[in-house]
Amino acid sequence: MRGIQVGETGVVLSKVCFGTLQLGRLLSSLPSARAAEVLVYAWECGITTFDTAPSFHSRHLLFQAFETNPNIVIVDKSLARTYEEMEQQIAESLVELDRDELDVFLLYDVRSQLDFEARKGAWTYLREAKEMGLLRAIGLSTCTVEGALLAAELPEVDLVQVVFNLTGAGILDGDRASMEAALERLKAAGKTTCAIKPLAGGMLDRDHSQEALSFALTHPLVDCVCVGMSTHQEVDMVCAIAKGEPLSKEQQANIKQMRRRLIILHWCTGCEACIPVCPTQALYLRDGIARVYQERCDWCGKCGPVCPEHAIFLVPALSSEEVEDHIG
């Protein structure tokens, strides 16, 4: 798989970055040994870059899978707002991953100029940590056009993660075209770009997975694509598309036949935006949080794009033998 240079930092990313949120306890709840096996399988297939964050609960999985493999590249990130919080987050990452230096660390979910100004302390420590040799590359992760344009103006930014997919789902202040224009600005500024949510949190998975992945992986303004996976079949499909290989009939059948499960995470605010767009009346509000009747959900993917908190995901419905109790 082709390697992507991150500026002059010496960091090289694989075209596909493995998003580990789906492996952790919030979504698939795979047992640690099973999750580590999927991670190692992805490495064997050519994926060398893995994306994590404290809220993903997946750092320990990466350590378990790759304790003796120093060649993997890890993109970590934090929602920290202050200098002290970011200092603590980076220290925890170094300890949990057992590293003296981290490859890439991002200020996570920067939504606006105002948001960035409120988190200036965290950004200041990120810059200092790179100068001290604790980090090789730094940057921002954002779900807004405003955040992407802000990153283009920051000279210290090496890598920018932006929500970018076939339908523009999950871009909070614009559409696909406006994010495309922001990506042009980022590339003109010499930034390395990573598309996140190429399947819109699984919402495009049932009917548009091939088209959506091909769109992101071949887009001229996108350097790498972060994809959440939890099964060998998903890894095989993503790697085949990344290499421009046609999917076999078996792989195509697996996509269509794969059972899925709708997950609503605990940071749902109960805004009810998802409830009226559900065509099967599978969603309802209880105790101030949206809930789902799984037996009614047909995995159409209409609910996720309207959620302002990115709290709704469609993931493979793994067998009871494969998962731990869901506690998300």
Q: What is the pLDDT of residue 212?
A: 94
Statement: the pTM of the whole predicted model exceeds 0.85: yes
Angle separating helix axes 120-131 and 83-96, nearest 10 degrees: 50
Q: Tens digit of pLDDT for each residue in 268-325?
A: 999 999 999 999 999 999 999 999 999 999 988 899 989 988 899 988 887 544 444 3
Q: Please check whether residue 110 is in contact with residue 116, taking contact to mean a CB–CB distance below 8 angstroms.
A: yes
Bridge partners (DSSP) listed for residue 102 = 135
Domain boundary among 222, 256, 290: 256
Residue position matching structure tokens 């420590």: 125
E strands present in 34-151 = 49-51, 73-78, 102-107, 135-142
* Same-domain pairing of 271 and 235: no
Q: Please check whether residue 136 is in contact with residue 11, taking contact to mean a CB–CB distance below 8 angstroms.
A: yes
Q: Which of helix, strand or coil describes residue 247?
A: coil
* Same-domain pairing of 117 and 135: yes
Q: What is the pLDDT of residue 201?
A: 87
DSSP states of 171-219: -TTS-HHHHHHHHHHHHHTT-EEEEE-TTTTTTTHHHHHHHHHHHHHH-
* Same-domain pairing of 296 and 216: no
Print the domain residue range for 210.
3-256
Segment 144-168 mean pLDDT: 97
The percent of residues above 90 in pLDDT, for the chain, comes to 76
* Same-domain pairing of 162 and 188: yes
CA dihedral 120, 126, 127, 130 (to 10 degrees): 180
Q: Tens digit of pLDDT for each residue in 172-210?
A: 999 999 999 999 999 999 999 999 999 988 888 777 888
278 in a domain, yes or no?
Answer: yes
23 in a domain, yes or no?
Answer: yes
Segment 5-22 mean pLDDT: 96
For residue 75, pLDDT beyond 60? yes
Q: Please check whether residue 17 is in contact with residue 47, taking contact to mean a CB–CB distance below 8 angstroms.
A: yes
Domain with 125 in it: what CATH number? 3.20.20.100
Hey, what are 240's tokens? 């085949």
How far apart CA 309 and CA 248 sit, in angstroms, is 36
Who contacts 289 (Cβ-Cβ below 8 Å, separation ≥6)?
264, 266, 268, 270
Q: What is the pLDDT of residue 321?
A: 43
Segment 145-157 mean pLDDT: 98
pLDDT: which is higher, 322 or 23: 23
Segment 138-159 mean pLDDT: 98
Domain boundary among 208, 229, 256: 256
* Same-domain pairing of 248 and 287: no
pLDDT: which is higher, 249 or 37: 37
Hey, what are 180's tokens? 């495309």
* Same-domain pairing of 8 and 74: yes
DSSP states of 153-164: T-TT--EEEEE-
Domain boundary among 256, 285, 307: 256
Segment 166-176 mean pLDDT: 94
* Same-domain pairing of 96 and 28: yes
Q: What is the pLDDT of residue 322?
A: 45
* Same-domain pairing of 180 and 46: yes
Q: What is the pLDDT of residue 319?
A: 55
* Total number of domains constituting the chain: 2
Average pLDDT, the chain: 92
User: 261-278 as b/e, with b when 16 or more CB fall inside 10 Å?
Assistant: bbbbbeebeeeebbbeeb
How far apart CA 140 and CA 111 sit, in angstroms, is 10
How far apart CA 164 and CA 225 sit, in angstroms, is 9
Q: What is the pLDDT of residue 10?
A: 96
For residue 88, pLDDT beyond 80? yes
Domain with 283 in it: what CATH number? 3.30.70.20
* Same-domain pairing of 151 and 294: no
Hey, what are 64's tokens? 């378990």
Hey, what are 192's tokens? 């390395």
Gap between the terminal Cα atoms of the chain? 34
* Same-domain pairing of 68 and 118: yes
How far apart CA 80 and CA 198 sit, in angstroms, is 25
* Same-domain pairing of 200 and 235: yes
* Same-domain pairing of 182 and 301: no
Q: Please check whether residue 126 is in contact with residue 138, taking contact to mean a CB–CB distance below 8 angstroms.
A: yes
